[in-house]
Structure 1
Amino acid sequence: MTLLNDAEIRPQLISWLNGKAIKPQMILNEVTISDGSARPDIIAIYSYSHCYEIKGDNDQIERISKQLAYYQASFKKNTLITTHKHLKKALELLPSFWGIIVAIPLDNRSIIFKYARKSSYNPSYRKDIASKILWKEEMQKLLKKKSISFNSRSTRFDLIELIKSSSTSNEVDEFVCNSLLNRKISQHI
């Protein structure tokens, strides 16, 4: 049986996502989040943020237990892409709002993707953690847009607290998505 790993799964997953009826506006590769604490494999920007984490045959599926708190706090939706080898454990480890997609190898070296479970909106999203994806200048821009005053010497922590207290989670996610779309990022695929 063919083993599937990130290197085989990732490019075909990106093609699959771009071929869906509702395509992402942008797909980003390994953007650092939570002040460097985590780096999801793929972030897809729709009208909301969607994190895709890949766990191939040779990956330690248990690692998702350490990563999921960062992903849940930062993105409106989360999906694990894995193989049949890890499916049972993934269903045990992940909350019900996480999507799980199984990557299935075909004889011609292509992969098909089948939903084991579709993602739903994440109840663990946190405005303060999601705001950490923003650069300081982007945080200031959001606060100016909302007519929230801040000191020019305010730290990122100060700005995050202002955003948290003055914005809804949908406003934060929308602003994060728009900021990522407007950046000139080398991780864009």
Structure 2
Amino acid sequence: MFKRMEMFMKTRDIDIRMSLHSILSEEFSDDPNTLIIDELGLCQGDARVDVAVINGAIHGYEIKSESDTLERLPNQIDIYNKILDNITIITGQCHIDRILKMTPPWWGVQQAEMSDTKTIILSTIRNGKQNPDIDPHSLVQLLWRDEALELLKVYGAERGFISKPRRDIWNRLVDCVPLEELKFHVRNQLKKRKNWRSV
């Protein structure tokens, strides 16, 4: 037990995040079609996933270090399940058992440990799978009003909606754009977006 404690120290969010960014940056260094962003807001800011990788899917990474609690996780699970194509939760050893019970079986689970050289070691506990049930009404809320209206124009469905509030435009998109096409257009728009913190 003493040897184990000496080898591994308590994980922190910032250490896991830096290690994750390093891994993802290396993995997608030759792919200009991939966007990696911190704190992607979902459902109009009801939750923010720690890191999102956007390319042919939206893969969210949620970090729960040993310094974190799981108090917010049930609400995060509900929101992430509506929007993200894939989800991986990265956590410290102390949370593994509870997270395996709390999260859907298609969520990936990785354990993060920090060695005595302050290197984060990630190990896969459960392989992730594709989200089986995306909610188009939640997904389309990733689009800003002008972006949603432009997409309506692509489908020739903007008539009567140019001056409508964004929720009406979102609902119109859901009605006239098939889910797989909607997922493609949302990802494409997120990758094209320049000013991420605009409202």
Q: TM-score, normalised by structure 1?
A: 0.91
Give deviations 1:75-126, integer Å, cap 9, x for gaps: 1111111111111111000001111111122221111211111221112311
Distance, in Å, in 1 between the alignment partners of 2:115 and 2:179 is 41
Check whether the contact 2:10–2:113 (CA below 8 A) recurs between aligned residues: no
Unaligned runs of 5+ in 1: none
2:49 aligned with 1:40:
yes
Residues 1:174 and 2:184 aligned together? yes
In structure 2, the residue matched to 1:81 is 90
Pair 1:183 & 2:190 matched? no
* Overall identity of the aligned pairs, in %: 28
Q: CA RMSD in A?
A: 1.8
1:7 paired with 2:21, answer no
Which residue of 2 is the match for residue 161 of structure 1? Answer: 171
Bigger Rg over Cα = 2
Q: Which amino acid aligns with 2:20?
A: L
Number of residue pairs the alignment of both structures matches: 187
Q: CA deviation at 1:186?
A: 5.3
Confirm or deny that 1:131 pairs with 2:134.
no
Aligned partner letter, 1:184: K
For 1:132, what is the secondary structure of its paired residue?
A: helix
Q: Is contact 1:75–1:173 with CA below 8 Å preserved after alignment?
A: no
Give the Å deviation of 1:19: 2.5
What does the per-residue CA deviation read over 1:125-156, in whole Å, with 9 as the maximum and x for residues that have no partner? Answer: 11110111110011112111222234211111
* TM-score scaled by length of structure 2: 0.87
Q: Distance between the aligned counterparts of 2:55 and 2:179, measured in 1?
A: 16
Higher strand share: 2
Q: Is the Cα contact below 8 Å between 2:149 and 2:158 reproduced in 1? A: no
Distance 1:99 1:184, change over 3 A: same
